[in-house]
Amino acid sequence: MRITALAGGVGGARFLRGLLAHLAASPDPARREAQVTVVSNTADDVTFHGLRISPDLDSVMYTLGGGIDEVRGWGRAQESSGVADELAAYGAEPSWFTLGDKDIATHLVRTRMLAEGATLSEVTAHLCARWAPGVRLLPMTDDVVETHVDLADGPDGAERRVHFQEWWVRLHAAVPAVRIEAVGAEQASPAPGVLDALREADVVVLPPSNPVVSIGTVLQVPGIRRAIVETAAPVVGVSPVIAGAPVRGMADACLAAIGVPTTAAAVAGLYADFLDGWLIAAGDEAPTRPGLVVRRRPLLMSSPTATAELAGAALDLALELAGRERAA
Amino acid sequence: MRITALAGGVGGARFLRGLLAHLAASPDPARREAQVTVVSNTADDVTFHGLRISPDLDSVMYTLGGGIDEVRGWGRAQESSGVADELAAYGAEPSWFTLGDKDIATHLVRTRMLAEGATLSEVTAHLCARWAPGVRLLPMTDDVVETHVDLADGPDGAERRVHFQEWWVRLHAAVPAVRIEAVGAEQASPAPGVLDALREADVVVLPPSNPVVSIGTVLQVPGIRRAIVETAAPVVGVSPVIAGAPVRGMADACLAAIGVPTTAAAVAGLYADFLDGWLIAAGDEAPTRPGLVVRRRPLLMSSPTATAELAGAALDLALELAGRERAA
């Protein structure tokens, strides 16, 4: 079985870890031997201190490879700040973006390889050779795409544009975004293997990642959305919203910026052209689009067991839909 | 009083610290208010892991700024190896060049500024704004000059060329060098302020730095040697050789590569066209060039006091020579 998942950062990475745990423990040989490909958002990539940083790729790689800081949910466990403290002593900016020493080594390898002409796909494969995340981890594109955000917090509401990370990390998305743009997305090409992984998948899964700045930017890379629309595989997603609030992070601020309500039904609407199955929380209103199969399941990834069960439920729904397809 | 010194790394930095200590403690107001400019070798600069590293500039900056590791003599005190351990885990090469976390911050600032178009002079001034080394620290050039070494350690004596750092740090200069070349030196220009600092100096000092790969490369930058030959200031040096052996480091291996004996007299011969005064150890043979004034002094920089006395002796000799000049 070939499973292809789109993913953002922390939430996506945790869901994927649950998926791998579910597959490994399954009595079904087809699930135990399933091959998982992850198409990662790269639009929150950023260059700080000359280092090229790919937060979402690294969150998936560290989480699945056993190096993640479990408490923060991002970055490396048992981190130190030898470099960062010194950068601060030099007055180097930005000082609000935390870079641990272990993490910096990853960025040094990436930055050097990119400077030497390697693609981000090649860099990611090299880094993953160490981490062995148990999935094939692909960036959505090898081209540079960066999400920028327009804020209207200047005098008299004057707008200014900042990198997504500045809005997200420095401002905690507390300043309303007027506009969110994945700069470079329209000119980008899917990275090698991405379209095939979607076309040839038996199941396509959307973890509960941010529908705007994670899944949303992946879908903006020309060809990816069409490949998902056209794939024969069932496409099943997990709502990132419970009872009108994001499960994790500040997806509500992103949804507000694009004028979409923070509800499980509204997020499903963003995927209306390809979504076959949708998992929502018990108390939430189901979207009513004909042909969309909705199931209510506990969505909180509160423990490894709960997360594995959630991933299993998504897979169950997908295989049920595939069976219907075959029976029809 | 304006004092201009050429300098390499560890030995030069320690001598300069002694010089500043001597000046600060002097009863002579002219010495206490002396301005010291240091022209640093940059030919052992190297790029590892994408980081631009300037070992000699940093040794002077850290030593005079109070950040040096006193035991090793180079790098930062109380270092950690969070980044280096992870680089090793990725299999990143070279693994034999030690980069501490604190030190890496310096290289990140330098690398980013250079990439943004700053000159090495500008980078050095920026870094020194934090370290306040008490001297004006100038790179010998803003151009890229790198010392490469030809080794004949291949099968049947086949030659190969390595960066100086590989010969020095990885091979401990144990493999004889066939040839040492400061690549790029002939096309380089002195950094801003270097020639004026030599022409307008009241005293020019050569610390006991390596006469081949430190002082020697500084002298190879077009215009610098001529400025030293032509300056009205007395030029006084301290022998880096005692009793046929280098005081520190492996200068004998460098001298052998250029066919010069490891003696205080032979090193003075390398500076024959400009050297006015020369400090050697008690038991060493004095060079006999007419006009060169030789003094025997304890050369071992075995304590801060001994180092300050040595620097004071060099300055005493220089001022004595300047007085003779004026009297003549």
Q: pLDDT tens, B127-167?
A: 999 999 999 999 999 999 999 999 988 888 899 999 999 99
Kindly write down the DSSP assignment for every residue of B258-322, as one continuous string. TT--SSHHHHHHHTTTT--EEEE-TTSPPP--TT-EEEE------SHHHHHHHHHHHHHHHHHHH
Query: CA-to-CA distance for A64 and A125, rounded, in angstroms?
Result: 14
Spatial strand order in the sheet of A136-139: A136-139, A35-40, A2-7, A203-206, A235-238, A277-280, A293-296
Q: Residue A28: inside a domain, yes or no?
A: yes
Query: Is residue B124 within 8 angstroms of chain A, CB to CB?
Result: no
- Which residue do the tokens 């086949």 mark? B158
Asked if B79 and B199 sit in the same domain, the reply is: yes
pLDDT at A328: 67
Asked if B164 and B309 sit in the same domain, the reply is: no
Structure tokens at A194: 């991405």
Asked if B88 and B116 sit in the same domain, the reply is: yes
Query: Considering CB atoms only, which of A92, A105, A112 is closest to B109?
Result: A92
The last residue of a domain, from among B161, B183, B205: B183
Mutate which of A81, A95, A108 to test chain B, going by most B C-beta atoms within 10 A?
A108
Domain range spanning residue A48?
Answer: 2-143+186-327
Q: Across the interface, do B87 and A109 touch by the CB < 8 Å criterion? A: yes
Q: Residue A44: inside a domain, yes or no?
A: yes
| Chain B contact set for A104 (CB, 8 A) | 82-83, 86, 104
Rounded average pLDDT per 10-residue block, chain A, 328 residues: 96 97 97 98 98 98 96 93 98 95 98 98 98 98 98 89 95 94 98 98 98 98 98 98 91 95 97 98 94 97 97 98 81
* Domain harbouring A290, CATH code: 3.40.50.10680
| Chain A contact set for B98 (CB, 8 A) | none
Nearest to A59 by CA among A199, A249, A298: A249
Q: Residue A177: inside a domain, yes or no?
A: no
| Chain B contact set for A92 (CB, 8 A) | 105, 108-109, 112
Query: Considering CB atoms only, which of B87, B106, B115 is closest to A108?
Result: B87
B89 to chain A, minimum CA–CA distance in Å? 8
| Chain A contact set for B77 (CB, 8 A) | none
Query: Considering CB atoms only, which of B50, B102, B106 is closest to A111?
Result: B50
B77 to chain A, minimum CA–CA distance in Å? 12
A92 to chain B, minimum CA–CA distance in Å? 7
Q: Across the interface, do B104 and A104 touch by the CB < 8 Å criterion? A: yes
Report the chain B residue with the minimal C-alpha distance to residue A91: B130
Asked if B123 and B198 sit in the same domain, the reply is: yes
Q: Across the interface, do B83 and A92 touch by the CB < 8 Å criterion? A: no
Per-residue pLDDT tens for B39-84? 999 999 999 999 999 999 999 999 999 999 999 889 999 999 999 9
| Chain A contact set for B86 (CB, 8 A) | 101-102, 104-106
Query: Considering CB atoms only, which of A92, A112, A126 is closest to B49?
Result: A112
Do residues B193 and B37 make contact, with C-beta atoms less than 8 angstroms apart? yes
Element (H, E) at A181: strand A177-183
The yes-or-no verdict on residue B327 having pLDDT over 80 is: no
Asked if B256 and B125 sit in the same domain, the reply is: yes
The last residue of a domain, from among B183, B199, B231: B183
Q: Residue A87: inside a domain, yes or no?
A: yes
Query: Is residue A83 within 8 angstroms of chain B, CB to CB?
Result: yes
Q: Across the interface, do B102 and A82 touch by the CB < 8 Å criterion? A: yes
Nearest to B255 by CA among B162, B173, B184, B188: B173
Strands B35-40, B136-139: pairing kind? parallel
pLDDT at A98: 87
Query: Considering CB atoms only, which of B82, B112, B127 is closest to A102?
Result: B82
| Residue B248's pLDDT band (cuts 50, 70, 90) | confident
| Chain B contact set for A111 (CB, 8 A) | 50
CA atoms within 13 A on the CB side of A242: 16
Residues in chain B: 328
pLDDT at A154: 83
Report the chain B residue with the minimal C-alpha distance to residue A84: B105
Q: What mean pLDDT do residues B281-296 have?
A: 95
Nearest 5 degrees, angle CA B288-CA B236-CA B323?
95
Q: Residue A179: inside a domain, yes or no?
A: no
Query: Considering CB atoms only, which of A90, A111, A112 is closest to B105?
Result: A90
Do residues A149 and A162 make contact, with C-beta atoms less than 8 angstroms apart? yes
Report the chain A residue with the minimal C-alpha distance to residue B131: A90
Q: Across the interface, do B100 and A89 touch by the CB < 8 Å criterion? A: no
Q: Rg for chain B (alpha carbons), in Å?
A: 19
Query: Is residue B104 within 8 angstroms of chain A, CB to CB?
Result: yes
| Chain A contact set for B101 (CB, 8 A) | 80, 82-83, 86, 101
Asked if B84 and B199 sit in the same domain, the reply is: yes
| Chain A contact set for B115 (CB, 8 A) | 50
As for how many domains chain A has, the answer is 1
Query: Considering CB atoms only, which of A50, A91, A100 is closest to B111?
Result: A50
Q: Across the interface, do B82 and A91 touch by the CB < 8 Å criterion? A: no
B67 to chain A, minimum CA–CA distance in Å? 11
A100 sits in the region (left: phi over 0; alpha: psi -120 to 50; else beta) called beta
Query: CA-to-CA distance for A269 and A283, rounded, in angstroms?
Result: 18
Q: Across the interface, do B108 and A91 touch by the CB < 8 Å criterion? A: no
Q: Across the interface, do B112 and A49 touch by the CB < 8 Å criterion? A: yes
| Chain B contact set for A82 (CB, 8 A) | 79-80, 82-83, 100-102, 104-105
Query: Is residue A101 within 8 angstroms of chain B, CB to CB?
Result: yes
- Which residue do the tokens 């370290």 mark? B131
A:269-298 residues touching chain B, CB 8 A cutoff: none
Asked if B19 and B93 sit in the same domain, the reply is: yes
B197 to chain A, minimum CA–CA distance in Å? 27
Q: Residue A270: inside a domain, yes or no?
A: yes
Query: Is residue A59 within 8 angstroms of chain B, CB to CB?
Result: no
Residues in chain A: 328
Q: Residue A225: inside a domain, yes or no?
A: yes
Q: Rg for chain A (alpha carbons), in Å?
A: 19
Q: Residue A139: inside a domain, yes or no?
A: yes
**Letter for the amino acid at A237?**
G
Structure tokens at A121: 């796909």
Distances (CA, A) of A236 to A26, A208, A279, B245: 19, 11, 8, 75
Nearest to B230 by CA among B264, B276, B278, B189: B276
| Chain B contact set for A69 (CB, 8 A) | none
- The DSSP symbol for A93 reads S
Mutate which of A48, A80, A104 to test chain B, going by most B C-beta atoms within 10 A?
A104
